[in-house]
Structure 1
């Protein structure tokens, strides 16, 4: 038995509208927005009586999705959005982009900031980490010479 694919990565936000707008600028498409609630959902997550609004965002290649969530109930238990990259658990999501400088300019208009600096890795990639919506850590990489 083996994994067939990775279906999505889930990320929780306080402001779902801003998160959707950010990822749309990055090039992801909003596939579906809906409420997830009921006893079946609580049995999956262990949160019981949960009420969550989700937005499914698909990458341009159609292979990956982000599940953006806004929990209405129960209350948020912990806030890890601005944890440094060496924290245990979720580290970051990395996106390949075709124009790093242009992408940074567009995302900067939405408040994204580069964590430290854009670096050139062996003339293969230009890459950086940014803080996106609500401080979320995101990696961006532009392949050089492609």
Structure 2
């Protein structure tokens, strides 16, 4: 067995359009959109007659993608868990950035906000958490050296 690379991260959303705007403002590119249904999606999620819209986005010059998934019938979604960067379980993913202050300012137009404040970790990074639409948490990390 050999793990080759990280392919994508999937995020279930209620409002695909607003989440696409958020990630586009952050600098991700839309690389594909599709409506999906059929036996294969029913099998992978274990739900009959499932229909969804997906959007694939990625950071320019990087292969790893973010898959945004909106189910047509939102009753097929399970209970909503409470997300916060301190809770147990998957909490966030991080982007390496340049000019963290400018990015935070641009994201403010998408109704996202900084959790805490931009802070410096030793002489290595400027860091912050952003709460985006639908409670999606990301970390921005600007390498200083």
TM-score band (shorter)? over 0.9
Q: Deviations over 1:13-56 (max 9, x none)?
A: 11101111111111111011111111111111212221110000
Q: Given the two structures, how large is their TM-score scaled by the length of structure 1? A: 0.92
Tell me the equivalent position of 2:45. 45
Correspondence 1:4-23 to 2 at 5 A: 4-23=4-23
User: 2:14, 2:74 within 8 Å by CA — same for their partners in 1?
Assistant: no
**Which consecutive aligned stretches of 4+ in structure 1 deviate over 6 angstroms post-superposition?**
none
Tell me the equivalent position of 2:36. 36
Q: Given the two structures, how large is their TM-score scaled by the length of structure 2? A: 0.93
Computed over aligned residues only, the root mean square deviation of the Cα atoms, in angstroms, reads 1.3
Distance (Å, rounded) in 1 between the aligned partners of 2:69 and 2:133: 13
Correspondence 1:70-89 to 2 at 5 A: 70-73=70-73, 75=75, 76-80=77-81, 82-89=82-89
Cα 1:47–1:88 shift into 2, 3 Å = farther
Structure 2 residue 57 is the aligned partner of structure 1 residue 57: yes
User: 2:42, 2:50 within 8 Å by CA — same for their partners in 1?
Assistant: yes
Structure 1 residue 68 displacement after superposition: 0.5
User: 2:12, 2:70 within 8 Å by CA — same for their partners in 1?
Assistant: yes
User: 1:35, 1:51 within 8 Å by CA — same for their partners in 2?
Assistant: yes
